[in-house]
Amino acid sequence: MILAIEKKTVAGSSNRKTTAVKTKKASAGGIKAGKADQKTVRSTATGKKSSTAPKKKPADANGNKSGMIRITFLLRYSTHFGQDLFITGNHPMLGNNDPALALPMTYFNEQYWMAQWEIPANQVPTDPVIYHYQLREPDGTISYDWGNDKVLTPAIFKKKDIHINDAWNHAGYYENTFYTEPFTQVLLKQNHTPVTVNRPRTITHTLQVKAPLLQQGQTLCIMGSEPLLGQWDTLEPLLLQRAADEDFFRIDLNLSKASFPIAYKYGIYDVNRKQFVRWEDGNNRVLQEAPLKGRYHLINDGFAILPNQSWKGAGVAIPVFSLRTRQSFGVGEFADLKTLSDWAVQTGLKMIQLLPVNDTTATGSWMDSYPYAAISAFALHPLYLHIASLLADADPVLLTAYQKQQAELNALPVVDYEAVMQQKMQYIRVIFEHTGKQTLASADYLSYFEQNKHWLVPYAAFCYLRDEYGTVNFSEWGAYASYRDKEINALASPKSAAYPAISLHYFIQYQLHLQLKEATAYAHAHGIIVKGDIAIGVYRHGADAWQRPDLYHMDVQAGAPPDDFAVTGQNWGFPTYHWEHMQADGYAWWKQRFEQMSYYFDAFRIDH
């Protein structure tokens, strides 16, 4: 799937092309001054009451109070009249990520907003502080700058006077694509080039900038009008370095004797050939603030202005059941994704996209092969379990029987869905009888169960009742027609007579989980990412609708209007979502669904 994105320009981002909505600069008559009644957050100290006014702590030449650390945030952003900017982060002074308690900023001039944070030197954070800027519109809507790379490390608080000059990172910037996990952890990971640089003893400025698409063996460099920056000499530019787990390229500088303002630009340098490659595009950048004694400047320059469409990749979309190999059992399995990954490497592909892999076992017939009517939006399909890896220590007679049936099923010209499912379930039950108790007592399984019990217990109970009543139409389940936590927890209790049959499904899902994670890890190790498929609808006779019918309009059915492929339209039979109810708990069901899918997949397609 290829997305075409229209590019527009955002005010306040010099020479940047973005995918954001255009923002106009405020005119001279429409500039909004800082509100006099705007609340600010201040640090206070408690002590004994006194009739005399407390003595003011002495300040240094920069106005810093003794024993206090002052951080000044300057954000380059041009606003409309009525817009306000705030800072939020994982610290009490920044509201603990609560938008309502964020630190307000003050309009400084046409280009900048400012905020100051003072913190006692004996109360500095021991963990990194991750912060974001938020833009509040007059109607109350909030936009955030994207990413989690704005970080104040504990080491920075050793400075007493810190000036941070930041750039807004709009979510629509094209370059942000390359800082998502599929790129940073797989597709671009091998491009990281370690660089060793000498850090000055005294650091007045740290400059940092991002450039996601440098090739292996390349790094960023900097040159400028100041002799300390080489006076634009490309023969021996100053090199920036980037840690393997970080986004920014950085350089520490001692500019205490430099003449300001300083014009500078970033460029690309080939470390292996020791050769300058090219300048970044756009106008020169300008460093305005000369260092005062004791003041430290952190300059976040956003993105280096370099071509952002130099990366290209192709992929393949395929259903797992079609990946049948000699190691399969009549149908493609999760283990066969390893063979597909090998093929993708050989053909130069970068991504494997799978059709839905959720359990569709509703009738026990071939009709269950339809992948878009899953009985659970979370459970994986037992069809894709690789049995052979679970039979390593099996009885030789059982192994011989398995190999005979495997050869027969693999010889068929097409997949015999019913035969494969019936025979796989027979072997799974035998394996469970021999190793199930040991598996379900393992620490890894218990951790998996704890993370997934919110859907795993209802799903397993659903499968048990489906088999007991011979139907997935839960309205015919008597006392269990309506889902009630107390009754289902009692039914699924280890003391229940139904527990062996219910825990079988725990075992199956856990083994599927391990095999799919192993397969995707193999793909990642070979530079391939894996994309999953989320069917937009849920089956009206599935575990999701049984457990939470309030999340769906069960009295209506979803479908598609007429088109060239279905001239009378389509009725899929799925209930529609009750979005108001989902909104009431913060869309918890969707968040859980995405979290569970993220165990295995780097990206998702939401189909229809």
Q: Tell me the C-alpha distance between 558 and 542, whole Å.
A: 15
Q: What is the pLDDT of residues 227-257, one digit of tens each?
A: 999 999 999 999 999 999 999 999 999 999 9
The DSSP line for 68-100 is EEEEEEEEE----TT-EEEEEESSGGGGGG-GG
Q: What is the 3-state secondary structure (H, E, C) of 214-283?
A: CCCCEEEEEEECCHHHHHHCCCCCEECECCCCCCCEEEEECCCCCCCCEEEEEEEEECCCCEEEEECCCC
Distance CA 128, CA 147 (A): 15
Tokens of 547: 């457990």
Q: What per-residue confidence (pLDDT) applies to 1?
A: 35
At 30 the pLDDT is: 32
Are β-strands 129-136 and 84-89 bridged in parallel, bridged antiparallel, or unpaired?
Answer: antiparallel
Predicted structure pTM score? 0.82
Residue 385: its pLDDT value, please?
98
Q: Give residues with Cβ within 8 angstroms of 108, minimum separation 6.
A: 74, 114
Spatial distance between the Cα atoms of 496 and 479, rounded to a whole number of angstroms: 16
Distances (CA, A) of 5 to 20, 359, 577: 10, 35, 29
Kindly state the DSSP code that residue 587 receives in the 8-state scheme: S
User: What pLDDT was estimated at residue 2?
Assistant: 33
Give the model confidence (pLDDT) of 383-439 as tens digits.
Answer: 999 999 998 777 888 899 999 999 999 999 999 999 999 999 999 999 999 999 999
Mind spelling out the 3-state secondary structure of 494-541?
Answer: CCCCCHHHHHHHHHHHHHHHHHHHHHHHHHHHCCCEEEEEEECCCCCC
User: What pLDDT, on a 0 to 100 scale, did the predictor assign at position 476?
Assistant: 97
Q: What is the pLDDT of residue 67?
A: 82
d(CA 81, CA 29): 9
Rounded-to-integer distance, Cα 442 and Cα 373, Å: 33
Tell me if 542 sits within 8 A of 548, measured CB to CB.
no
For the chain, list residues with pLDDT below 70.
1-66
Q: What is the DSSP string of 7-74?
A: -B-BTTSTT--BSSPPBPPPPGGGPPPPPTT-------------SSPPPPPPB-TTSPBTTEEEEEEE
User: Residue 58: CB partners within 8 Å, gap ≥ 6?
Assistant: 65, 66
- Which residues, 6+ apart, have CB-to-CB distance to 286 below 8 Å? 261, 262, 263, 264
Which residue, 85, 81, 86, is CA-closest to 32? Answer: 81
- What are 175's two structure tokens? 């370059």
> CA torsion, points 75, 78, 83, 88, in degrees to nearest 10?
-20
Largest CA distance in the chain: 95
CB 166 within 8 A of CB 74: yes
8 A C-beta contact, residue 23 and residue 168: no
Report the pLDDT value the prediction gives residue 290, as an integer from 0 to 100: 86
Location of structure tokens 């393949």: 316
What's the pLDDT score for residue 66? 64
CA–centroid distance for 256 within its chain? 40
